[in-house]
Structure 1
Amino acid sequence: MADFKKQLASIDRRLLIGGGAALGLTAGFFGLRPSNNGAEATPYFNAMTGALKREKLERPTLVIDRAALDRNIDLLKADLSPGMGYRIVAKSLPALGLVKRIMERAGTDKLMVFHQPFLNYVAANVPGANVLLGKPMPVAAAARFYDHAAPGSFDPARQVEWLIDTPQRLAQYADLAKALGVAMRVNIEIDVGLHRGGVRDKATLKTMLEAIDAAPGLSFSGFMGYDPHLASVPGLLGWQESAIENSKAVYRGFVETARAHYGEAWNRDALTLNTAGSPTYRFHTESKIANEVAVGSALVKPTDFDIPTLEGHEPAAFISTPVLKTAERTEIPGLEFLYGLTSAWDRNSAKTAFIYGGKWLAKPVAPQGLQLNSLFGRSTNQEMLNHSDHISLKPGDHVTFRPTQSEFVFLQFGDIAVYDPAEERIVESWPVFQQGA
């Protein structure tokens, strides 16, 4: 009898231990399970959606919050010291109305253009612009610009600076200027640490300056040193600070070489000494070396620019699109039996909405907690989005995304809808640049 009691006690202990382990595993399972992130859209996004619906914009639409844009422009200008110029990066803001609003509010006529058809368009529609090419263009593209230049007050000899990165490309442009009988201003791309091309040593620079001086149609107009990599250098042990100083020292060295080359003819105020980009413009608020910064994306702040160096800038660009279909379950073709398991594990995958369009470089933000389904796959036609039961979506509702970047995404939706949050209405429509002439 005593042995039997001992056996019962042993069984009880094993059951207790086993039960505790099972409870621990269950608790661990639910502890690791994704939290329910669903929440209805905020009043801000509901008001934006309402404005689009009143305009019958029941299609994927790129929206600019004009008030947020203006605040970003004002912040940029406040960051820059007197004497530091600002050049608008048009590839990141590819709409004429958008560019003109920034030009007016920021008080600048300087643009950076990266595409030959855009250059022709700007020349025809913004005759007062001062344009720096943002990348070295094939010489045939430069020739096409002149072939298609519309008559008007825009003077390429004064208002365009062609970016040149190598002695070989410089020779091609010298031949083009001679063949066309035109004057071309040459801005030299320098490598200040990005290592994506550009002049890397003073000997090459001297050779190029001599070649510019010898070519009747060419003139030296300055330098462009792009440095977005600096924002990604870790601050640990002073690495970022050191990288910034090294980059500025390289730029300063090229400037000093050019100054020595031209001697008494050197006129810094007549040159374009361009640097920075959206992630790094705050490293160059004073004009001790460069005399202008190039900034584009910071003014609309896609998600790729949610970075510490752009603190204070706010999102101003969104994509809004209608919901076409909804389902109370998320069913994957051929794997319907998994619904119970997947929804138990991730409550954010319980329900489904199919939207108008999709597969953009963008992330859903409203309602909160929408997510893509990797098993179902992506679609440019009717993208599947999943969500929890904390969200109620029905056909005709809209969902809102933030683009991850602007330069390509902005060109996918036709005219941009300009939203005024104070009036809660669409107040303008800005056509985007055309990719081809």
Structure 2
Amino acid sequence: MIEEQYFSSMTHALREAGFHQPCMVLDMDRLDHNIAAIKHSLAPGLSLRLVDKSLPCLPLLERISKAFDCKQLMTFHLPVTAAVLDSFPDVTVLLGKPMPVEAAKKALMDGVLTRTHGSETRISWLIDSNERLAAYGELSKETGLNLQLCFEVDVGLHRGGYKDKTSLRSALNLLSNYPKLKCNGIMGYEAHINRIPALIGGPKRAFEKARSLYMEFASCLRPDQRSILNIGGSSTALLYSSEQTANELSIGSAFLLPGDFDVPSLSALQPAIFIATPILKVLEPSLPGLDGKSRLLQKIGLFPRHGCFIYGGKWMANPVYPVGMKTNSAMGLSTNQQFMSLPDNTDIQPGDYAFLRPTQSEFVLQQFGSILMYQRKKIVGVWPALPMS
């Protein structure tokens, strides 16, 4: 009943505002609830670094940044990096993945970062190997640019980066060959924690192991190399307490709580983003090629008796309303008109709306061009999403 009331109100708001195509809806009341809940749970002494790929909208980043007085972002795509640096002059950024050195050179010398004020001092580039360190060292010599770096360390995810203290120390020693490179710290990511089965120790053991490994890496750094001790992600950040080695936590998706982030540590948060799309057709479905023989499959429960086609589809999202709406493997997926099966007693008409909950906010928020702001049962505005390129 609560779901029906919630999505009925959202349907009314969309109709009243005149939106009759697939759109991304952001529940501002739930967003503010999540901001307050995360602020309450974030360990004292640990600062927040917002993840721009998960919140790819400048007004959205600004709203959350102001709530936390946050001036640190993690960035993953250089055109977006340029956009956030230009929009927020007092912000510094940490690359969340290592950039090909030629991409960095192009961006800095005659690309998207050329006109960005203070790009040398505001960007920390991520280094995952001695080979990449040497490449950035040569870039600094060739261009005369002073470049700031952080080292990616492997705390159990095994997605690359320095594997142990010995390898990190070798990288720190190599820095002396490149006087224009400066180490700001380390970045460790442990998104694997919640996926570790109990048979091999479960999430708690994985968390303690990641924490222990991170402390070992941090012990290699001099005091002047510790300005960025970054760890965490949306699914793990609230597990940390203030006495631990890191000084900042990365969070992005948690503010919107897409489906992949339904983990115990985020149980106080609420889903805040939904794809809304018009229902085009409501019908008794038949499988192509079987025609009337589809009824036999319906009688034995292998094919639905009731269904609809929606405007668009094939998004990284799961259906949530009408209640019981599902994709159907026999009919497949479509980006044009996707078939959705419905329970027999579903009372909907063409022109009603279907709602899907994104599994992630990264990329999905950018597919619609803009984000509708839903507050107190009304569409109160539209925010532009950052372009994909």
Partner of 2:208: 245
Among 190, 207, 229, the alignment partner of 1:227 is 190
1:123-202 matches, within 5 Å, as 123-146=85-108, 147-148=110-111, 149=113, 151=115, 154-202=117-165
Give the SS at the match of 1:352: strand
1:12-411 matches, within 5 Å, as 42-146=4-108, 147-148=110-111, 149=113, 151=115, 154-235=117-198, 239-259=202-222, 266-267=223-224, 271-327=227-283, 329-346=284-301, 349-411=304-366
Among 371, 374, 379, the alignment partner of 1:416 is 371
Does the 8 Å contact 2:184/2:224 carry over to 1?
no
Q: CA deviation at 1:144?
A: 2.4
Separation in 2 of the partners of 1:171 and 1:42? 58
Among 357, 374, 379, the alignment partner of 1:426 is 379
Q: CA deviation at 1:150?
A: 5.2
Q: CA deviation at 1:174?
A: 1.1
Separation in 1 of the partners of 2:51 and 2:128? 19
Give the SS at the match of 2:335: coil
Instruction: Tell me the number of residue pairs that the alignment of Structure 1 and Structure 2 aligns.
Output: 387
Separation in 2 of the partners of 1:255 and 1:40? 48
Percent identity between matched residues is: 40
Does the 8 Å contact 1:51/1:426 carry over to 2?
yes
Separation in 2 of the partners of 1:40 and 1:83? 38
Does the 8 Å contact 2:280/2:311 carry over to 1?
yes
Give the SS at the match of 1:70: helix
Q: Deviations over 1:251-298 (max 9, x none)?
A: 111111223xxxxxx247x61000011111122132520011111111
Give the SS at the match of 1:257: coil
Q: CA deviation at 1:341?
A: 2.8
Cα distance 1:175–1:62, how it changes in 2: closer, same or farther (>3 A)?
same
Q: Deviations over 1:335-375 (max 9, x none)?
A: 12333233334498211211110011111111101111211
Separation in 2 of the partners of 1:403 and 1:348? 25
Cα distance 1:333–1:41, how it changes in 2: closer, same or farther (>3 A)?
farther
The letter of the residue matching 1:193 is G
Partner of 1:35: none
The letter of the residue matching 1:284 is Y
Name the Cα RMSD after superposition: 1.9
Partner of 1:23: none
Separation in 2 of the partners of 1:407 and 1:312? 21
Separation in 1 of the partners of 2:310 and 2:43? 46
The letter of the residue matching 2:77 is H
Q: Deviations over 1:6-52 (max 9, x none)?
A: xxxxxxxxxxxxxxxxxxxxxxxxxxxxxxxxx89611111112212
Q: After the TM superposition, which segments of 4 or more aligned residues of structure 1 sit over 6 Å from their partners?
A: none
Separation in 1 of the partners of 2:125 and 2:241? 25
Give the SS at the match of 1:258: coil
The letter of the residue matching 1:412 is Q
Cα distance 1:171–1:371, how it changes in 2: closer, same or farther (>3 A)?
same
Does the 8 Å contact 2:327/2:340 carry over to 1?
yes
Q: TM-score, normalised by structure 2?
A: 0.94
Q: TM-score, normalised by structure 1?
A: 0.84
Q: CA deviation at 1:81?
A: 2.2
The letter of the residue matching 2:219 is E
The letter of the residue matching 1:89 is V
Give the SS at the match of 2:309: strand
Separation in 2 of the partners of 1:365 and 1:379? 18
Give the SS at the match of 2:149: strand
Structure with the largest fraction of helix: 1
Separation in 1 of the partners of 2:2 and 2:67? 35
Cα distance 1:276–1:378, how it changes in 2: closer, same or farther (>3 A)?
same
Q: CA deviation at 1:82?
A: 1.8
Give the SS at the match of 1:49: helix
Separation in 1 of the partners of 2:310 and 2:201? 47
The letter of the residue matching 2:183 is F
Q: CA deviation at 1:101?
A: 1.0
Question: Over alpha carbons, which structure has the higher Rg?
Answer: 1
Q: Any gaps of 5 or more consecutive residues in structure 2?
A: none
Q: CA deviation at 1:239?
A: 4.3
Give the SS at the match of 2:362: coil
Between stretches 211-220 and 347-356, larger displacement belongs to 347-356
Does the 8 Å contact 1:365/1:402 carry over to 2?
yes
Cα distance 1:347–1:374, how it changes in 2: closer, same or farther (>3 A)?
closer
